[in-house]
Amino acid sequence: MIERPDLYIDGQWVSPASTEVISVDEAATGEIIGTVPAGAPADAERAIVAARRSFDTWAQVPIAERADVVTAIAAGLRERESELARIMTQEVGTPIATSARVQVGLAASVFETIAEAARELPAEERIGNSMVIRVPAGVVGAITPWNYPLYQLAAKVGPALAAGCTVVVKPSSVAPLATFVLADIVDGLGLPDGAFNLVSGRGALVGDMLSSHPQVDMVSLTGSTGAGVQVARSAAGTVKKVALELGGKSAFLLAEGADMDAAMAAAVRGCFVNNGQTCSATTRLIVPQSLLAEVEERVAAAVNAMRVGDPLDESTDLGPVASEGQFRTVTKYIEMGMSEGTLIAGGPGPVEGIDRGYFVKPTVFSRLDPGATVVQEEIFGPVLSIVSYDEGIEQGIAIANDSEFGLSGAVFAEDIPTAVSIARRLRTGQVAVNGGRFNAKAPFGGFKASGVGRELGHHGLMEYFEMVSLQFPSADDLGAFGQTV
């Protein structure tokens, strides 16, 4: 049992206002592995007040020193990689090999690249007789999800602290334990009291308070589109900045002439990473009708060969989904898909040899109508939908863009120029070109119902600043002012 009885507020671990706790389940067994406080509005109020009080102090720390703090957080995560990887494998179900590399490694990399971007950021911009400077946005409410607890935290806390903002973090109730370890790391770095605060709790209480509180200047959420709509509505009352990274139903568009070995490996990897619990997963595979039979054969073989089991076993390819609620949701969609398309792998029912935990068979449906429910709605589990087109790549592009979401995507064509020409026409925030891999320095975010704003790299860092124009009598008067940070 990992029992975390306190919240981190105003530079110290403090008792919460309530004795109520949130139990954390192990995805592979369904057994309780830890507890965290169920923070109350009074706790969120204390944290917000502390962050507001600390803001002027932290904002005045030179940006190079703030970047050093962000780098130190990354180092702290790497030092505790094994511990953190195991925690998130238990909480989320991520296979342990992926957990170490992605859940921890990517989070540390994001902190590092944000610090690098902060150090490289020009101190000001000069436009005619104006000097444009950047100032921290203020107090930030950071609401993080359960599927990538540390990575998504890094994408918010890293740029916020580097920019000079103070932060109140509200982690997901499903997977909060790793966030408490990060707070332990921050506690040892000597930040001003109140610069970083952690309040676990129910989204309907703590999350809503962060998004509506007049002393919070910006709220950043990663979560479902429904949660994003609610946060945006709450934030509108106090006209605060909002950054939303929301749902996805991303397309993997296969063109004639593509390298099928490489394309099918990328398609399966892009859908089933983290057991399908990835907002940017390419869960719609759109293929030419002429290649459909070959695609079905290749995908079915790859998926049926996946080793499903204990996520703490290094040989496991696919672990459980994170919670009983998610298990029910994914199972419902699989049952729905049985009447909408042709099942070519997986399907409903228990995983053979496993009698506990939240395990779902990796499942593939094919010969689906583009408007089918399993094609259009975000399932957030190990389910791939295959749709074919027979009227050329124009039809394939139209099917790819026929979605309320626009977070990610992939194109595989016979060569890079062809793939790029297709990728430019997709209405989505990032596109993997012929197997291109994720880049933590490039902007990440979406169109349409997939959100507002961008995370990662210098683009993500800029979200946490406000711009101020200093107007001088003439451009010559600007010469007296050197670069300042």
Q: What is the spatial distance between Cα 455 and Cα 438, in angstroms, rounded to a whole number? A: 13
Amino acid at 41: P
3-state SS of the chain: helix, strand, coil percent to 5? 40, 20, 40
> In what helix (H) or strand (E) does residue 395 lie, and over which residues does it extend?
helix 393-401
Q: What is the spatial distance between Cα 257 and Cα 403, in angstroms, rounded to a whole number? A: 26
Catalytic annotation, residues? 245, 279
Q: What is the spatial distance between Cα 424 and Cα 402, in angstroms, rounded to a whole number? A: 16
Instruction: Count the Cβ atoms, other than its own, within 10 Å of residue 34.
Output: 20
Closest CA to 303 of 324, 318, 283: 318
Backbone φ, ψ for residue 123 (5° rounding): -70, -30
Closest CA to 155 of 307, 279, 34, 15: 279
Q: What is the spatial distance between Cα 125 and Cα 461, in angstroms, rounded to a whole number? A: 16
Q: What is the spatial distance between Cα 434 and Cα 258, in angstroms, rounded to a whole number? A: 8
Q: What is the spatial distance between Cα 118 and Cα 462, in angstroms, rounded to a whole number? A: 9
